[in-house]
Structure 1
């Protein structure tokens, strides 16, 4: 066989059997039986005159009245031989013994009376019989609504039960209570290992210990210890909780059941609890094993908090079953439960206690060293140019999670490909940061010259004040190119601090207000462009007064409740509330006047910087050094490893008059 024939044969659609074919075959068989078994096909309707003629000739053997309105005429053997009847008796559909003619007589009493009179007059021998006859199609049509409803119900039940997916033979109505967990064992190995997880050293160490428990439990049980029941991975989105679980599946070498918390949720009562029981039953049969429940807050929320639905809803029943399976009677099996959530504050206390989730592993956002390791992982498959500086990229991405860094690397590759480059350069990564944080660049956005001048002085004000203050973050670049919702932006490189002092927060507030202060000094007017700045400083001032206790008037008091129970109740009196509002306004106004004083003393340099920004649209740290000279606090900046922070005014500036 030639290659082309093989290829054509391989491309031919494969025969696939469907159960619906059986239903179709049965339906066609019913039609065929009805079609061929019916003697009506061979009969011929006749008029009253024709009937009277046949009756007069004494050709009728018997008459069968069907449903009191139609008479089927059966002929005698002598009549069947007559030529006038043979054109009907020799028909393809005629079978011996069937009725030859049909006569729709109308009124049955009149018909029977006429036949009786003819029998007396002509001395005929004719039998009349009455029958009730029902067509199979009439019966089907009568039950058709019920058949349709049953078919729709079966279809939706099949869809809701998983359509054939999931373990335990899901897909049929009787397996809806089976677990939907995916099983990973020696036949379906996971390729992710701890080598693929960059950073997260503390979390990896604790998770690695769980793997060791299952690989060599005698190492720990020989001293009288017990294997932990569960570990909860907690952290912001994108920090690598699910990735850690995949690494456990790849490293453990034991059966690994993976599913989401929403897989237990169903519209039918008792299904969630049934799936929990089935899940732990499967895990116990394959013990030692690991169960991983992603987004466990879907079923693990605290009970009794929702007064609208009562305390006995389906989610709480599922949670109760999970609590019993994790630590209840008859749970002495080597099954470890891993769970992940970014909402540990809403989980039920019974779920968090020792003996269920013995360990809480916090997966935090990566620091500068861990970000560099994450970059090293994600740039391996990329084709890089020689100018890429991974250490600088780690400094430029504070607050980025592992998922954000992966997205940034991919975005840099797309940007390089868009410009037709053969390799990804360092500038492509910087453009990717701008694209992710600031949004898409909008060079064609219509901005009047007056508005552009206001934006330039606004951003120049931010840059000037931050350059003059000791604790403000050093500048990286300033741009007035519209990006996303903002008309301009300033990129900073702040120090990575574990604690923040009062002076540092005040300097940051002053630098944030530098944009509005510059508008006031140059134009003697202010615009709406400082909305994001005002929002930022208001939040900072409120946190200083009500959360961190950094205000002398309010004192060493915090009104912050980490449990989140004060959402609808103010924890202070009306009089204290007025004092808090007064101190917040006073703090912001002092920093605003401080920014005005700084800019007034450096008005000429501010104007030069703004004119340069109008000319170039993007300026960098070197441009500021040429105008202001070397920053006096440069030595202090180099002592601390820098990290980037971005301040984006997100409101459009109004046209100055």
Structure 2
């Protein structure tokens, strides 16, 4: 799979070292042969420690004492064999050939009896053939060489342990899915994402029926980039492509190219494309490509990212350079497309950029259908209702809601998952764990009740605020209370809508000012939301008449590398003053509305203290129906589409509308105290 050739250098080097140091390799340095007279002279001198007699080959091995061995070594001037530690048994110092065994034993006993000091012992053994003398050491050393090979090549090359990858560090880490290992995910398992799924299905059709397009002169696209917020299903789409394409599919992460050694990233890119070209047609999927695809030449003061740039350069060359006419398609996914290098995004490399957006209402219903198949549901669970309760949720969030609802149902000993379990799951994910036993002073609880009642009152009395879902003063997560809204799903937001939402967000602090004539620190998240929204109005959307139709937003994502601001100090002063003016005007507006409806505010706070959780119906009892609810009034829709002969192009950038929703649109999460 990795096109790894066998490297003979290290086995040959090991054998050479063993031959150089092991003078007794393969049976070398055999024992010296002496006659019977020489043996008995050495025995009478007290130099023989032991003798092993082999009856079948008329031969005996002679082993000297330690003193005799030392004297013999010093006389010869040789050092001990450095590989003697690997010998399985002591080696004989001499070998003696005897004639008649009985005469040899008789003389042995006579010499030993004539001198009681002699303590030479004798043993009997089975004779070994010359072939066995060669085979046994050979097997020992073959085993040692096999162990060396396993440690140096198999273990290190396979990546086992911190020191692994030494000999295959430049090889690609991509996992291959082919006919042997199929992915079971198909496009049927991908709910919603109609537009993105249609474009990705076309890529699969390119590979399956390439002649259909090439015979008309078309070229198969080189790359497809999936862009979108986290959790929207980019990797799931890639899995579906792998399951549908029926071609070799290489999957890896952008961080797999990153290594501490110089040149490794570029080497892995080359190896990856070499494998893909060998199995062409094939698909390469690189998840989180921004790890190596970040724009070059930015913030490079110390040269620390030269290795990443080299990796990117190699990727650019492999995707569209000389000799890149093979049928290999590169798919990549990222949620940071604004920081990618322009050379990577040009036509001929990533020809198609597919935006995978957060699901709409009907897409969320389809996603619920997929995830609810494995859950035992109660009869009163309505998928349409669940889809309406989860605006701004990604596919991963919806999967989490379904799983959390099942856990809550099991915790409450339900036989099936009910509608209330899903509502509790949504509250749990948005607001955090409910803390009913948290000790709160009565005075603080009353302040929290008026704070949340202020949010609810303003949102009910202003036209463009998000519809209220429920209000609670039960502590949840890090908040002491929360107001849940159901934001309207819209693509454009007017100035009046943003101002009304800011006024409703400031309603909590305004209620404290009206009732207690002082304010607390409980409006921290409210102030943060309002400040970001006012900054977006002035500096991004050009909604401030004093600043004008000017936007300082940088869609290229390179503003983070700039040390200075794109405006002068005088303009900065005007921007600060305008932001403060917008916020203060809405705060004063909220105070006026609450002061004019103080009796209804008191009634709502009292009901909240009594019930702790109130819903839309409770507000209707106090305030009545909202005059601008869709069910009461139907406003005419004005057709703003220009005539055909008067084309108007209005570019509305997707400026973090989903990733940082609180800056632009109605908050997905509740207003917390």
| TM-score, normalization by structure 2 | 0.74
1:553-632 matches, within 5 Å, as: 553-567=546-560, 568-632=563-627
Comparing 395-404 and 568-577, the one that deviates more = 568-577
Which residue pairs with 1:163 in the alignment? 159
Q: CA deviation at 1:451?
A: 0.8
From 491, 504, 527, the equivalent of 1:511 is: 504
Q: CA deviation at 1:310?
A: 2.6
Structure 2 spans left out of the alignment, 5+ residues? 1-17, 32-36, 54-59, 87-146, 636-664
From 390, 413, 420, the equivalent of 1:420 is: 413
Q: Distance in 1 between matches of 2:264 and 2:615?
A: 61
Over 3 Å counting, the alpha-carbon distance change for 1:139 and 1:494 in structure 2 is same
Task: Verify: 1:177 aligned to 2:170, yes or no.
Answer: yes
Structure 1 spans left out of the alignment, 5+ residues? 1-25, 40-60, 63-73, 109-125, 141-150, 652-657
What are the superposed Cα offsets for residues 6-27 of structure 1, whole Å, 9 maximum, x if unpaired?
xxxxxxxxxxxxxxxxxxxx9x
Q: Distance in 2 between matches of 1:134 and 1:638?
A: 106
From 494, 498, 513, the equivalent of 2:487 is: 494
Over 3 Å counting, the alpha-carbon distance change for 1:261 and 1:627 in structure 2 is same
For residue 337 of structure 1, give the secondary structure of its aligned residue in structure 2.
strand
Which residue pairs with 2:628 in the alignment? 633
Q: CA deviation at 1:573?
A: 1.6
Which residue pairs with 2:303 in the alignment? 310
Q: Distance in 2 between matches of 1:564 and 1:324?
A: 24
Q: Distance in 2 between matches of 1:464 and 1:244?
A: 44
What are the superposed Cα offsets for residues 42-74 of structure 1, whole Å, 9 maximum, x if unpaired?
xxxxxxxxxxxxxxxxxxx99xxxxxxxxxxx9
Which residue pairs with 2:647 in the alignment? none
Over 3 Å counting, the alpha-carbon distance change for 1:77 and 1:425 in structure 2 is closer
Over 3 Å counting, the alpha-carbon distance change for 1:206 and 1:607 in structure 2 is same
Q: CA deviation at 1:206?
A: 0.7
For residue 499 of structure 2, give the secondary structure of its aligned residue in structure 1.
helix
Which residue pairs with 1:271 in the alignment? 264
From 357, 362, 383, the equivalent of 1:390 is: 383
From 306, 319, 328, the equivalent of 2:312 is: 319
Q: Distance in 1 between matches of 2:152 and 2:459?
A: 63
Which residue pairs with 2:228 in the alignment? 235
Comparing 405-414 and 387-396, the one that deviates more = 387-396
Contact 2:473/2:608, CA 8 A, preserved across alignment: yes
Which residue pairs with 1:261 in the alignment? 254
Task: Verify: 1:208 aligned to 2:201, yes or no.
Answer: yes
Which residue pairs with 2:354 in the alignment? 361
Contact 2:52/2:61, CA 8 A, preserved across alignment: no
Over 3 Å counting, the alpha-carbon distance change for 1:160 and 1:535 in structure 2 is farther
Task: Verify: 1:296 aligned to 2:289, yes or no.
Answer: yes
Q: Distance in 2 between matches of 1:279 and 1:392?
A: 47
From 488, 513, 517, the equivalent of 1:520 is: 513
Q: Distance in 2 between matches of 1:101 and 1:238?
A: 77
For residue 630 of structure 2, give the secondary structure of its aligned residue in structure 1.
helix
Q: Distance in 2 between matches of 1:385 and 1:638?
A: 35
Comparing 379-388 and 263-272, the one that deviates more = 263-272
Contact 2:50/2:63, CA 8 A, preserved across alignment: no
Contact 2:174/2:252, CA 8 A, preserved across alignment: yes
Contact 1:531/1:649, CA 8 A, preserved across alignment: no
Q: CA deviation at 1:254?
A: 1.6
For residue 237 of structure 2, give the secondary structure of its aligned residue in structure 1.
helix
Number of residue equivalences: 545
What are the superposed Cα offsets for residues 65-95 of structure 1, whole Å, 9 maximum, x if unpaired?
xxxxxxxxx9755566xxxx99x76999xx9
From 399, 404, 410, the equivalent of 2:392 is: 399
Task: Verify: 1:470 aligned to 2:463, yes or no.
Answer: yes
Task: Verify: 1:456 aligned to 2:452, yes or no.
Answer: no
What are the superposed Cα offsets for residues 269-328 of structure 1, whole Å, 9 maximum, x if unpaired?
222222222222222222222111111111111111132343882222221111111111
What are the superposed Cα offsets for residues 397-438 of structure 1, whole Å, 9 maximum, x if unpaired?
111111111111111111101111110001111111111111
Q: CA deviation at 1:176?
A: 2.8
Over 3 Å counting, the alpha-carbon distance change for 1:153 and 1:404 in structure 2 is farther
Over 3 Å counting, the alpha-carbon distance change for 1:280 and 1:522 in structure 2 is same
Comparing 268-277 and 526-535, the one that deviates more = 268-277
What are the superposed Cα offsets for residues 139-191 of structure 1, whole Å, 9 maximum, x if unpaired?
99xxxxxxxxxx999979977754279xxxx9764433222222222222211
Contact 2:484/2:671, CA 8 A, preserved across alignment: no
Over 3 Å counting, the alpha-carbon distance change for 1:282 and 1:100 in structure 2 is closer
Over 3 Å counting, the alpha-carbon distance change for 1:494 and 1:639 in structure 2 is farther
Comparing 549-558 and 410-419, the one that deviates more = 549-558
Q: Distance in 2 between matches of 1:565 and 1:173?
A: 37
For residue 236 of structure 1, give the secondary structure of its aligned residue in structure 2.
coil
Q: Distance in 1 between matches of 2:672 and 2:497?
A: 24
For residue 537 of structure 1, give the secondary structure of its aligned residue in structure 2.
helix
Which residue pairs with 1:481 in the alignment? 474
1:3-402 matches, within 5 Å, as: 77-78=43-44, 97-100=62-65, 102=67, 129=75, 131=77, 133-134=79-80, 136=82, 161-163=157-159, 173-310=166-303, 313-402=306-395
Q: CA deviation at 1:600?
A: 1.1
Q: Distance in 1 between matches of 2:630 and 2:314?
A: 60
Q: Distance in 2 between matches of 1:483 and 1:286?
A: 55
For residue 635 of structure 1, give the secondary structure of its aligned residue in structure 2.
coil
For residue 203 of structure 1, give the secondary structure of its aligned residue in structure 2.
helix
Which residue pairs with 1:22 in the alignment? none
Contact 1:490/1:646, CA 8 A, preserved across alignment: no
Task: Verify: 1:538 aligned to 2:534, yes or no.
Answer: no
Over 3 Å counting, the alpha-carbon distance change for 1:425 and 1:437 in structure 2 is same
> How much is the aligned-residue C-alpha RMSD, in angstroms?
3.5
Q: Distance in 2 between matches of 1:172 and 1:466?
A: 61
